[in-house]
């Protein structure tokens, strides 16, 4: 039995975290037309939206003898201003700890205790981003309680909060009954194989969650296989991220089971298998499944060990597959031969692929030029990312011509041509399939399409 996370001073006991997760949600405090006691009437007045979230937060901190977090106070003040302007529908509360534009005091589990008490009755807030903070398992306990009581929340970002297996268990179990959450990010929380198994079990019951991100969570082979098994029957999940599990052995069992799942699952739209130690036999397993799959649109196999031999299987399946739109091959080793295989298919057969990333694949001039030629004849193929390869003069001229001819829009690639002494060179620009997956831009839009083209082209379960 998992140990109960400590509760902050002043929190009324609700038994174990498991009991808290099973407790029925209560109606909002201001939903009652009248209060039974003067004290209850005062509570209703304090929690009403007219009093303002900032004021409510300050009062609650004083009442519970909890230190006020100035960062939370600042964000709640901004939300109050939006509400006054009449923008109260569908607000995403962004309290991410990696915000570098304003002074940040990272949110602790105790801070989140107070915050959850406020948010449980805020029906106009349907998204919450508390990534890169210090919630730990204490915060996970209150996040589970919030999911139990706040029935309008469709997006929750808990990435990199030092949540462990016990905290993961609490969140997974409360999702057995939750029917509103669409997108959950647990990225970077070390829930390990134990926590992963609880999430896999949850997917056997939950029929509303559409996107689940468990990348960098130290999942084990057992939980990866469990997810593959569950997804053969789950008809709700549209996108899943299983990046960087902790795998041992050279048998590539994960790709065998995921391949079997893809043959039977016809609802999954996006699959992320970065850092799975996939080799050529692994990509063959996935490609064999794609002959039978008619739903997958986004395949991410970046940061693996795929070589040009693996591209034979991918190029062949692309000749008949008409659903794949985005493929991320970044940080593999397909070299010129692999690029040529893909180029031939994209030129003569495939008319469905829209975006391809071959960043840092040890491709030299010939292969890069071949891919550029595909874009001239294939009008569907609109996005390509090539930085980190070996650019010769022919490559630079080829991509400069593509941009000048309008075959390649500047926002749809990660290079930009410039001329020095009459010679064309390529410079890197901050565009890509998922540039802002881990971090937030310090200027401009954090979720603009040019930096996150993969999610823009295949928009599944995005934040509200």
**CB atoms near residue 446 (< 10 Å):** 16
- Write down the residue that tokens 């829009």 correspond to: 409
Rounded Cα distance, 382 and 420, in Å? 27
Torsion region of 252: left, alpha or beta (phi above 0 gives left; psi -120 to 50 gives alpha):
left
Would you say residue 337 lies in a domain? Answer: yes
Would you say residue 113 lies in a domain? Answer: no
Q: 355 — phi, psi (to 5°)?
A: -140, 140
Q: What is the DSSP letter of 320?
A: T
Would you say residue 387 lies in a domain? Answer: yes
Which residues of the chain fall short of a pLDDT of 70?
1-51, 87-88, 440-447, 461-464
> Residue 422 CA to chain centroid, in angstroms?
43
Angstrom CA distances, 106 to 21, 97, 436, stand at 25, 5, 20
Would you say residue 251 lies in a domain? Answer: yes
What is the model's pLDDT at position 48? 46
Contacts 24+ apart (CB under 8 A), 395-400: 395/365, 395/368, 395/369, 395/426, 396/423, 396/424, 396/425, 396/426, 397/424, 398/368, 398/369, 398/372, 398/373, 399/368, 399/372, 399/426, 400/424, 400/426
Nearest one of 205, 186, 251, 207 to 225, comparing CA atoms: 251
Q: 428 — phi, psi (to 5°)?
A: -80, 140
Would you say residue 395 lies in a domain? Answer: yes
Angstrom CA distances, 334 to 148, 185, 345, 434, stand at 47, 31, 15, 21
Would you say residue 101 lies in a domain? Answer: no
Q: 413 — phi, psi (to 5°)?
A: -145, 165
Would you say residue 16 lies in a domain? Answer: no
Q: What is the DSSP letter of 450?
A: T
Nearest one of 206, 198, 211, 142 to 179, comparing CA atoms: 206
What is the model's pLDDT at position 280? 97
What is the model's pLDDT at position 251? 80
**CB atoms near residue 46 (< 10 Å):** 15
List the CATH number of the domain containing 305: 3.80.10.10
What is the model's pLDDT at position 444? 55
Domain carrying residue 367 = 247-408
Nearest one of 403, 399, 408, 458 to 433, comparing CA atoms: 458
Nearest one of 139, 98, 137, 97 to 119, comparing CA atoms: 139
Q: What is the pLDDT of residues 50-108, one digit of tens each?
A: 468 999 999 999 999 999 999 999 999 999 998 888 766 788 999 999 887 778 899 99
Would you say residue 62 lies in a domain? Answer: no
Domains of the chain: total:
1
């Amino acid at each position: 039995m998992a140990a109960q996370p400590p509760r902050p001073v002043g929190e009324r006991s609700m038994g174990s975290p498991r009991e808290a997760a099973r407790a029925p949600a209560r109606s909002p405090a201001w939903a009652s037309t009248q209060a039974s006691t003067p004290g209850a009437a005062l509570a209703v007045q304090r929690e009403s939206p007219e009093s303002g979230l900032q004021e409510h937060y300050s009062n609650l901190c004083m009442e519970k003898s909890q230190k006020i977090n100035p960062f939370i106070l600042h964000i709640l003040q901004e939300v109050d201003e939006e509400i006054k302007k009449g923008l109260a529908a569908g607000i995403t509360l962004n309290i991410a700890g990696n915000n570098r534009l304003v002074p940040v005091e990272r949110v602790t589990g105790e801070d989140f205790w107070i915050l959850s008490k406020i948010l449980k009755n805020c029906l106009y807030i349907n998204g919450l981003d508390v990534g890169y903070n210090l919630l730990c398992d204490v915060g996970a306990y209150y996040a589970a309680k919030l999911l139990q009581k706040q029935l309008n929340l469709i997006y929750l970002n808990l990435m990199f909060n030092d949540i462990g297996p016990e905290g993961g268990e609490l969140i997974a179990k409360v999702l057995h009954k939750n029917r509103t959450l669409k997108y959950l990010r647990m990225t970077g929380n070390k829930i390990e194989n134990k926590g992963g198994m609880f999430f896999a079990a949850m997917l056997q019951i939950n029929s509303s969650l559409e996107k689940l991100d468990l990348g960098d969570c130290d999942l084990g082979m057992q939980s990866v296989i469990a997810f593959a098994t569950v997804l053969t029957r789950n008809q709700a999940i549209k996108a899943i991220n299983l990046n960087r599990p902790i795998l041992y052995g050279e048998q590539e069992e994960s790709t065998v089971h995921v391949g079997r799942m893809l043959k039977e699952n016809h609802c999954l739209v996006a699959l992320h298998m970065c850092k799975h130690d996939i080799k050529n036999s692994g990509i063959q397993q996935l490609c064999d499944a794609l002959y039978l799959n008619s739903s997958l649109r986004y395949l991410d196999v970046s940061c693996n060990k795929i070589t040009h031999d693996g591209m034979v299987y991918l190029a062949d399946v692309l000749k008949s597959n008409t659903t794949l739109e985005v493929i991320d091959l970044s940080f593999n080793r397909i070299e010129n031969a692999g690029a040529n295989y893909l180029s031939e298919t994209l030129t003569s057969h495939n008319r469905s692929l829209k975006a391809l990333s071959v960043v840092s694949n040890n491709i030299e001039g010939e292969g890069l030029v071949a891919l550029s030629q595909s874009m001239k004849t294939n009008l569907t193929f609109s996005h390509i990312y090539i930085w980190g390869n070996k650019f010769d003069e022919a490559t630079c001229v080829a991509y400069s011509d593509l941009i000048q001819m309008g075959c390649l829009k500047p926002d749809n690639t990660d290079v930009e041509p410039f001329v020095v002494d009459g010679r064309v060179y390529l410079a890197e620009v901050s565009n890509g399939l998922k540039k802002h997956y881990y971090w937030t831009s310090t200027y401009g839009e954090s979720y603009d399409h040019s930096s996150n083209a993969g999610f823009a082209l295949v928009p599944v379960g995005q934040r509200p």
